[in-house]
């Protein structure tokens, strides 16, 4: 008995030595591969390597030090740019006093998105049989990036400039498009919000700028619109006025009833639901609201604190 126990301990020790040795050998190999900048540990679409895409909307994304890329680095699959039309150019910022000549819709969004997509869609002898393009996320090439464009200046005059500004993405075939009765989901889905004119969006042919529909009015006859995903892949509403729960204490039955009704209305039309202006603080209240949203099928978490949302 005693002898057997000793034998077992010795056998375990021997195994540990082998494992430790194996781990050291592997770590050594990893180090040499890295030191030699070996091509074995490099691959072309590394730009978003290991980033898990998440259904988070980066509210006021342009406020971040580095718009778009910070969001992508956290796996955020929806970003938002506030655009102002001045002298024929779209500038990005929350208020006019925040605008500068360098921070344009083209320089902060269109060109960086194009660059990421050029990396994830690089051509090589291995891609010759590939049909269709990859999206921004290496881990889920089929997932589109949602680009919300909040038109701050007059809608009917701004929309044509937004359509024009998206041309570099359009000509590469990267934009989700509704044409000839068919909706084709591509790598970037552009959705107008703010002053975006519904009639202007409906008149686009082909249509590759869509309309952020009013989530609480999807079946409101006064809007003269049969909403569906060919007009609005997304419908949004202000949390405060639509639901009103602060996240502290329990959500009431009628608030929960409203919430599930709005989400069900959207889903019945093939539209995704988003609530904005959800409280950011206290943190426990913010998290309680995120939890209720996730539990009840809201499609996007609207977040200012992307790190918190991405680790939620
Ligand atoms: C590693 O190699 C790649 C090309 O294979 C090159 O682009 C990169 O600059 C190299 N990095 C370093 C640190 O040498
Ligand atoms: C718009 O154009 C006018 C006339 O050329 C010029 O005076 C003005 O500074 C421009 N505004 C901006 C924001 O560039
Ligand atoms: C592409 O398809 C052809 C025809 O099926 C095949 O012979 C070839 O090996 C494929 N190339 C790659 C890189 O998969
Ligand atoms: C839509 O149809 C028109 C006319 O038949 C054609 O020229 C155009 O290429 C089509 N567009 C798409 C995106 O299929
Ligand atoms: C809906 O149509 C009616 C009658 O044509 C019109 O008076 C009204 O302004 C339209 N509403 C919207 C939101 O376009
Ligand atoms: C919430 O639901 C109640 C009925 O339970 C309804 O009277 C109320 O109008 C709804 N609120 C909103 C914002 O639609």
Q: Which tens digits make up the pLDDT trace of 270-286?
A: 999 999 999 989 999 99
Residue of the CA atom closest to atom 9 of ligand 6? 258
- 59: CB partners within 8 A, 6+ apart: 80, 276, 302, 303, 304
Res. 235 pLDDT band, cuts 50 70 90: very high
Kindly tell me if the per-residue pLDDT of 3 is higher than 80. no
What average pLDDT does the structure give for the chain? 93
Question: Is residue 270 in contact with ligand 4, taking CB distance under 6 Å?
Answer: no
HSE of 28, CA atoms in CB hemisphere, 13 A: 6
Ligand nearest to the CA of 35: 1
Kindly tell me if the per-residue pLDDT of 260 is higher than 80. yes
- Mean pLDDT confidence for 87-92: 97
- Give pLDDT, residue 151: 98
pLDDT digits (tens, 9 = 90+) for 148-161: 999 999 999 999 99
Q: Which CATH superfamily is domain 43-123+131-310 in?
A: Phosphatidylinositol (PI) phosphodiesterase (3.20.20.190)
d(CA 174, CA 135): 8
- Give pLDDT, residue 64: 84
Question: Is residue 182 in contact with ligand 1, taking CB distance under 6 Å?
Answer: no
Residue 275 CA to ligand 5 centre (angstroms): 26
- Give pLDDT, residue 8: 86
- Give pLDDT, residue 269: 97
- Give pLDDT, residue 171: 97
Residue 42 CA to ligand 1 centre (angstroms): 9
For the chain, the C-alpha Rg in angstroms (whole number) is 24
- What is the SS3 assignment for the chain? CHHHHHHHHHHHHHHHHHHHHHHHHHHHHHHHHHHCCCHHHCCCCHHHCCCCCEEEEECCHHHCCCCCHHHHHCCEEEEEEEEEEECCEEEECCCHHHCCCCCEHHHHHHHHHHHHHHHHCCCCHHHCCCCCCCCCCCCCCCCCEEEEEEECCCHHHHHHHHHHHCHHHHHCCCECEEECCEEECCCEEEEEEECCCHHHHHHCCCECEEECEEHHHCCCHHHCCCCCCCCCCEEEEEHHHHCCCCCCCCCCHHHHHHHHHHHHHHHHCCCEEEEECCCCCCHHHHHHHHHHHHHCCCCEEEECCHHHHHCC
Atom of ligand 3 nearest to the CA of 126: 13
Res. 106 pLDDT band, cuts 50 70 90: very high
Atom of ligand 1 nearest to the CA of 39: 5
Residue 194 CA to ligand 3 centre (angstroms): 47
Ligand nearest to the CA of 243: 6
pLDDT digits (tens, 9 = 90+) for 108-120: 999 999 999 999 9
Residue 129 CA to ligand 3 centre (angstroms): 6
Question: Is residue 179 in contact with ligand 4, taking CB distance under 6 Å?
Answer: yes
Question: What are the boundaries of each domain within the chain?
Answer: 43-123+131-310
Atom of ligand 5 nearest to the CA of 199: 14
Residue positions counted in the chain: 312
Res. 296 pLDDT band, cuts 50 70 90: very high
Kindly tell me if the per-residue pLDDT of 265 is higher than 90. yes
Kindly tell me if the per-residue pLDDT of 1 is higher than 70. no
Question: Is residue 16 in contact with ligand 5, taking CB distance under 6 Å?
Answer: no
Question: Is residue 173 in contact with ligand 4, taking CB distance under 6 Å?
Answer: no
pLDDT digits (tens, 9 = 90+) for 17-67: 888 888 888 899 889 999 998 888 888 888 788 888 889 999 888 888 888
- 86: CB partners within 8 A, 6+ apart: 99, 153
State the angle between helix axes of 253-268 and 283-295 in degrees (0 to 180), rounded to the nearest 10. 50
d(CA 310, CA 238): 22
Least confident among 95-99, 193-197, 202-206, 265-269: 95-99
Quote the tokens at residue 204: 């686009």
Atom of ligand 3 nearest to the CA of 127: 13
- Give pLDDT, residue 2: 66
């Amino acid at each position: 008995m005693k002898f057997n126990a000793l034998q077992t301990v010795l056998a375990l020790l021997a195994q540990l030595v082998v494992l430790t040795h194996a781990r050291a050998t592997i770590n050594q190999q990893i180090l040499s591969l890295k030191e030699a900048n070996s091509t074995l540990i490099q691959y072309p679409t590394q730009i978003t390597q290991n980033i898990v895409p998440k259904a988070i909307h980066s509210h006021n994304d342009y406020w971040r030090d580095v718009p778009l890329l910070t969001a992508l680095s956290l796996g955020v699959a929806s970003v938002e740019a506030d655009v102002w039309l001045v002298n024929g150019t779209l500038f990005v910022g929350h208020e006019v006093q925040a605008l500068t000549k360098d921070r344009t819709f083209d320089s902060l969004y269109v060109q960086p998105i194009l660059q990421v997509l050029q990396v994830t869609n690089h051509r090589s002898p291995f891609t010759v049989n590939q049909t269709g393009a990859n999206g921004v996320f290496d881990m889920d090439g089929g997932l589109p990036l949602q680009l919300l464009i909040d038109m701050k200046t007059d809608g009917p005059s701004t929309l044509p400039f937004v359509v024009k500004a998206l041309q570099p993405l359009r000509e590469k075939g990267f934009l989700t498009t509704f044409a000839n009765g068919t909706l084709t989901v591509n790598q970037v889905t552009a959705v107008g919000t703010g002053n975006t004119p519904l009639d202007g969006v409906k008149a686009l042919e082909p249509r590759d700028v869509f309309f952020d529909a009013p989530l609480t009015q999807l079946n409101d006859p006064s809007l003269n619109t049969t909403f569906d995903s060919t007009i609005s892949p997304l419908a949004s509403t202000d949390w405060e006025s639509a639901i009103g729960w602060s996240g502290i204490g329990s959500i009431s039955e009628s608030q929960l009833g409203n919430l599930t009704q709005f989400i069900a209305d959207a889903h019945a039309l093939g539209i995704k639901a988003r609530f904005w202006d959800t409280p950011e603080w206290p943190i426990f209240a913010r998290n309680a609201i995120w939890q209720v949203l996730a539990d009840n099928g809201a499609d996007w978490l609207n977040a200012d604190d992307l790190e918190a949302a991405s680790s939620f």
